[in-house]
């Protein structure tokens, strides 16, 4: 790129909204080299030769957080051609602190005062011309959300970059401070550019711990520091900070005219009086999250997912809906007629078997599911069925309802049988094909199966592709619609400003349990993916609190766990929204309980980190921003399904369908899976989960594959429980009871996360000891919680009492003791601190 423009600003100043507006879809998202901070880069719309770099949201260019170090290193080391400094017009004084530092970098700067629509609505007035004169740079009014002024800001930044003219310094600190800065500037060698000498001189005076990484030679400035500290009776960092705010105050006095006091509350303030109310805040939050998960899991998302599973990966679908066939008959009429005929025929066959009549060969010939089925032979068998019974025969038999599985006693006469046989033969002895009723689109498995059959592929290859890859990956992708609905709803909450309030609300609660509201921010981020959630913990200054947050963040269900939650809730709990929403709140409760217990240990004892956060004004989220956020998260999930999950399902399929039977190794049939490689591995370790109620090899290996990627649990179960005539849901419902299903769900929600998240934990902990402690804590807690849930569950539902029940009560007693015991280590921490 010929020109590079950096976007810099405080968190929640509208920087990302501006970035999206300037670049549109021309974005590249990754990580900064060597660190896990997100890096966003894009092309300026209408300018192929202009790159926009979105820097992390920061409050200053001091090395307090990794984001600040990353932003500073980029601005100094990469030296972009220009900087667009976005400031929140509703919080001018706070935002200008970073601006005064950016101006000192010797890079062309254009200041974009954002949220001007909100400023005007509040009655405040900002004199843009006076602000420009006071800072010495171009200043533009914008509203990133509404798209106002952003083109002008971009054009001015491009022009400034081409002119290559740095901002002329128009402000001065106290004379003594200026004299010290001049003296330090003179000591800097030629490796520092002339335009950047003031910035480096100030940082050296402030005793910046990381500025030495940017300098070849660090000058001795002890004399200048001593002179300043003696004169002002303060440390140099505080002296410079005070000078900056004195300068900012003079700017505010000239440029900002606040609305007269007594004006009505803003819309945001009115909303906050309700949603952040001490009494109402938590119930409102609970209702909001319930609605989010209810819509995503039970209504809109569930309908989209059902359609995907039933049609795209199931039986196929009609492009324009079900239509009538060439004879003008609707499919439902033909299907009902055929089904009624088959009920009568099956009923007479059952009656014959129960009464010693030879009908076995007839039944086999009429079995449409048989590989040797032939319509001509089936028609002959149907005619033969009429000869087997006497004309006076009346058959009484049980008919099972396919949906409810309820049975009713039915009676049919010989005349009914004759009519049924005629109907059966009129349809060619086969069930009416939906494809004959309108424009029919076959499902992906059907299309692939037919293609493989025509290509004469080997049985093992067909099995791998259809029963392995499509069954596994398809089981995961089938839940994508549900996830996309969830991501849209979370993006709306994020962009309208509510999620920032949630962190504020939770700080009141978390502080009582030894955690800061800052700990809730990683958990909010972790709802999308655990990896960025873990990385978000670096904003917590207190090392003990940061470690505890890293250990507990993944208890919140991430997007990858959504398909698993939906599968268990749908198969075992009849699609209960309480189970789906409850999974989220169980994560929060587990974090709170962990915080209380861990804070009472010497490892984590100490004061809680302070909570400081900008609360942005409420506003309507832009459709483009919401859809872009949904697509980024959803596409990340789909890519994972196409790589990690694909490879995992291949491994799972191979180890499932190959094994040893009678001493020989080979491909197995579906009824031989207990001899497979995977079964042998699962059987060797499944005893561990007997107390949890799901100690079988299928559930065990599904949990193990979930460590690679949580979506794998669904893919693995799709393969292991998808065989035979029953659906995966029906099989799961028969294999799990409600207590064992809930136990299985909780274990996989709370145990160690996927490998990618484990890698993030290892990087952020920066210690093998702490990493293994975190993984051990997560797995151990998940094991105990799932054990207690199952044992107490079977006690309540079935009245079963045994050794496991005693163990469960002992665990509960120990948990309550740890939860409510006095915090002796709080006093220990105070003594150690003093």
pLDDT, residue 831, reads 39
**Could you report the average pLDDT of every consecutive run of 10 residues in the chain (834 residues)?**
86 84 71 58 87 86 75 85 90 87 89 88 86 89 88 91 81 86 86 83 83 77 87 86 88 83 67 84 83 77 76 75 72 85 87 84 84 85 88 76 59 90 90 78 83 82 77 69 80 80 74 68 70 69 80 83 83 79 84 83 68 68 81 73 70 80 78 81 89 87 81 76 65 84 91 79 83 92 93 89 91 89 58 39
Task: Yes or no: say if 524 and 643 are a contact pair by the CB < 8 Å rule.
Answer: no
For the beta carbon of residue 788, count every other beta carbon within 10 angstroms. 23
Domains of the chain: residue spans and CATH? 3-163 (3.40.50.300), 175-257 (1.10.287.1770), 331-441 (no CATH)
pTM: 0.57
pLDDT, residue 257, reads 86
pLDDT, residue 637, reads 66
Q: Could you give the CA distance from residue 14 to residue 420 in angstroms, rounded to a whole number?
A: 71
Task: Yes or no: say if 716 and 472 are a contact pair by the CB < 8 Å rule.
Answer: yes
For the beta carbon of residue 513, count every other beta carbon within 10 angstroms. 18
Q: Could you give the CA distance from residue 157 to residue 420 in angstroms, rounded to a whole number?
A: 81
Helix segments in 298-413, DSSP class H: 300-307, 331-354, 360-365, 375-388
For strand 658-661 and strand 664-667, is the pairing parallel, antiparallel, or unpaired?
A: antiparallel
Q: Could you give the CA distance from residue 509 to residue 591 in angstroms, rounded to a whole number?
A: 12
pLDDT, residue 84, reads 93
């Amino acid at each position: 790129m010929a020109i590079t423009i950096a976007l810099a600003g405080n968190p929640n100043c509208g920087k990302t909204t501006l970035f999206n507006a300037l670049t549109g879809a021309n974005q590249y998202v990754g990580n900064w080299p060597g660190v896990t901070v997100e890096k966003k880069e894009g092309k300026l719309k209408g300018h192929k030769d202009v790159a926009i770099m979105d820097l992390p949201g920061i409050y200053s260019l001091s090395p307090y957080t990794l984001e600040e170090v990353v932003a500073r290193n980029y601005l100094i080391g990469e030296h972009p051609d220009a900087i667009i400094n976005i400031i929140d017009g509703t919080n001018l004084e706070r935002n200008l602190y970073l601006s005064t530092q950016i101006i000192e970098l010797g890079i062309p700067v254009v200041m974009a005062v954002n949220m001007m629509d909100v400023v005007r609505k509040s009655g405040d007035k900002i004199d843009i011309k006076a602000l420009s004169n006071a800072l010495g740079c171009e200043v533009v009014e914008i509203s990133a959300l509404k798209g106002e002024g952003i083109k002008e800001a971009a054009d001015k930044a491009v022009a400034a970059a081409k002119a290559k003219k740095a901002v002329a310094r128009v402000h001065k600190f106290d004379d003594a401070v200026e004299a010290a800065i001049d003296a330090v500037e003179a000591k800097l060698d030629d490796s520092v550019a002339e335009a950047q000498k003031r910035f480096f001189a100030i940082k050296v005076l402030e005793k910046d711990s990381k500025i030495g990484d940017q300098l070849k030679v660090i000058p001795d400035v002890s004399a200048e520091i001593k002179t300043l500290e003696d004169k002002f009776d303060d440390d140099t960092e505080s002296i410079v900070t005070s000078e900056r705010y004195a300068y900012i105050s003079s700017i505010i006095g000239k440029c900002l005219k606040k609305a007269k006091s007594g004006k009505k509350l803003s819309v945001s303030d009115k909303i906050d009086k309700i949603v952040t109310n001490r009494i109402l805040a938590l119930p409102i939050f609970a209702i909001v999250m319930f609605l989010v998960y209810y819509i995503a899991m039970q209504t809109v998302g569930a309908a989209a997912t059902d359609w995907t599973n039933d049609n795209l990966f199931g039986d196929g679908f009609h492009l324009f809906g079900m239509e009538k066939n060439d004879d003008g008959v609707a499919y439902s009429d033909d299907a009902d007629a055929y089904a009624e005929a088959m009920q009568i025929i099956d009923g007479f066959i059952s009656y014959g078997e129960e009464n010693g009549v030879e009908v076995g060969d007839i039944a086999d010939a009429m079995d449409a599911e048989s590989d040797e089925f032939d319509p001509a032979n089936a028609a002959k068998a149907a005619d033969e069925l009429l000869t087997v019974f006497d004309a006076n025969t009346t058959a009484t038999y049980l008919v099972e309802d396919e949906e409810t599985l309820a049975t009713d006693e039915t009676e049919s006469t010989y005349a009914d049988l004759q009519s049924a046989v005629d109907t059966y033969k009129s349809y060619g002895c086969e069930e009416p094909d939906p494809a004959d009723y309108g424009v029919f689109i076959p499902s992906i498995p059907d299309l692939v199966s037919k293609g493989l059959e025509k290509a004469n592929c080997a049985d093992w290859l067909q099995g791998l592709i259809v029963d392995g890859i499509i069954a596994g990956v398809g089981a995961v992708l089938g839940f994508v619609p549900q996830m996309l609905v969830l991501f849209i709803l979370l993006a709306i909450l994020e962009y309208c400003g509510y999620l920032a309030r949630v962190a504020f609300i939770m700080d009141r609660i978390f502080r009582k349990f030894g955690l800061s509201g800052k700990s809730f921010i990683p958990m909010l981020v972790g709802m999308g993916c655990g990896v960025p959630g873990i990385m978000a913990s670096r904003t917590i200054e207190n090392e003990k609190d940061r470690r505890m947050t890293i250990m507990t963040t993944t208890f919140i269900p991430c997007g990858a766990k959504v398909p698993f939650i939906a599968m268990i809730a749908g198969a075992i709990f009849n699609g209960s929204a309480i189970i789906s929403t409850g999974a989220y709140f169980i994560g929060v409760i587990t974090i709170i309980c962990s915080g209380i217990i861990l804070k009472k240990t010497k490892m984590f004892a100490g004061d809680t980190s302070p909570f400081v956060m900008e609360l942005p004004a409420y506003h309507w989220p832009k459709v483009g921003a919401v859809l872009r956020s949904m697509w980024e998260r959803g596409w990340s999930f789909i890519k994972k399904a196409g790589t990690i999950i694909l490879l995992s399902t291949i491994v799972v399929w191979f180890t499932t369908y190959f094994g040893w039977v009678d001493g020989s190794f080979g491909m197995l049939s579906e009824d031989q899976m207990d001899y497979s490689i995977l079964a042998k591995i699962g059987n060797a370790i499944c005893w561990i989960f007997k107390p949890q109620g799901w100690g079988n090899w299928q559930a065990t290996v599904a949990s193990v594959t979930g460590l690679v990627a949580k979506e794998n649990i669904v893919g693995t179960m799709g393969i292991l429980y998808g065989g035979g005539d029953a659906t995966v849901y029906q099989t799961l419902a028969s294999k799990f009871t409600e207590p064992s299903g809930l136990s299985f769900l909780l274990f996989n929600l709370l145990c160690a996360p996927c490998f990618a998240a484990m890698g993030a934990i290892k990087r952020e902990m920066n210690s093998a000891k702490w990493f293994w402690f975190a993984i051990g804590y997560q797995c151990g807690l998940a094991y105990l919680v799932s054990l207690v849930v199952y044992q107490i569950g079977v006690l309540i539902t079935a009245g079963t009492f045994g050794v496991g029940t005693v163990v469960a009560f002992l665990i509960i007693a120990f948990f309550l003791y740890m939860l409510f015991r006095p915090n002796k280590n709080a006093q220990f921490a105070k003594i150690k601190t003093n």
